[in-house]
């Protein structure tokens, strides 16, 4: 059995591609998800990868989720914080719930998951953590104060934790993908997507496997 790798939001989109790459490379993979049992079960059946359902925005659920994964698969050496959501809307139309849901799911989740694995990584003197940020956390995006704030928060979180982990052989990196064709992007109205694609130098949306290959580069 290879090292154990956990990918949050690993059952669809970018997370699914990351899980498949990890499995191919010999890792024992755990894919987490929030509530879409149908796609999680279909993914698990097709890939043979174990799936675990818990809400990454809930600290206690993350602690319990990691304890379950470690009991079933072994100590977690690799963590990919990939789960994320959008709840878009301009500031003057955004309510606190939409702000908070994105901050908790996209940013506090990184604390919740890292806190649940960091003691073990420090004890074993090994860890690989990759956090999935976004180009919109670096440049901002109209209608996304919540998402841009959470994603740029991930970049600061990553840099600080990387300083703490270095002496314990724990590397912490972030990837800031551009637009990638997944369910998240399929929700964007076509006319807006057409405009976005025109700004992408290669003239196309990214493929989930583009991001998966970057994750492998950072953890191997």
Which residues have a catalytic role annotated?
Answer: 147
- Please select the residue that binds ligand NAP; options are 64, 85, 162, 216, rule is CB under 6 A: 85
Buried b (16+ CB within 10 A) or exposed e, 127-147: bbbbbbbbbbbeeebebbbbb
Distances (CA, A) of 214 to 78, 90, 140, 159, 217: 14, 32, 22, 18, 5
34 binds ligand NAP (CB under 6 A): yes
| Cβ distance to ligand NAP smaller for residue 103 or 168 | 103
Maximum distance among all alpha carbons in the chain? 52
Window 140 to 169, contacts with ligand NAP (CB under 6 A): none
Q: Of 31, 22, 105, 111, which Cα lies nearest the Cα of 65?
A: 31
35 binds ligand NAP (CB under 6 A): yes
- Please select the residue that binds ligand NAP; options are 160, 183, 192, 213, rule is CB under 6 A: 183
- Please select the residue that binds ligand NAP; options are 5, 20, 52, 55, rule is CB under 6 A: 55
Quick one: tokens of 87?
């709840």
Residues in touch with ligand NAP (CB under 6 A): 8-9, 11-15, 32-36, 39, 55-57, 82-85, 105, 132, 134, 177, 179-180, 182-185
């Amino acid at each position: 059995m290879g090292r154990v790798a956990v990918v949050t939001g690993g059952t669809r989109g970018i997370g699914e591609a990351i899980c498949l790459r990890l499995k191919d490379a010999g890792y024992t993979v755990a894919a987490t998800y929030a509530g879409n049992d149908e796609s999680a079960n279909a993914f698990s059946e097709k890939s043979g990868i174990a799936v675990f359902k818990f809400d990454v925005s809930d600290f206690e659920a993350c602690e319990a989720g990691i304890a379950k994964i470690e009991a079933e698969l072994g100590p977690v050496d690799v963590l990919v914080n990939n789960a994320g959501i959008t709840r878009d809307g301009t500031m003057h139309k955004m309510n606190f719930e939409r702000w908070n849901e994105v901050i908790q799911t996209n940013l506090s989740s990184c604390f919740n998951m890292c806190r649940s694995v960091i003691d073990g990584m420090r004890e074993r003197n090994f860890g690989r953590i990759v956090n999935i940020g976004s180009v919109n956390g670096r440049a901002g995006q109209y209608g996304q104060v919540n998402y841009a704030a959470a994603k740029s928060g991930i970049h600061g979180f990553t840099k600080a934790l990387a300083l703490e982990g270095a002496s314990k052989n724990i590397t912490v990196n972030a990837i800031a993908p551009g637009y990638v064709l997944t369910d998240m992007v399929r929700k964007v109205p076509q006319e807006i997507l057409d405009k976005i694609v025109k700004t992408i130098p290669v003239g196309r949306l990214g493929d989930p496997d583009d991001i998966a290959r970057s994750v492998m580069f950072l953890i191997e």
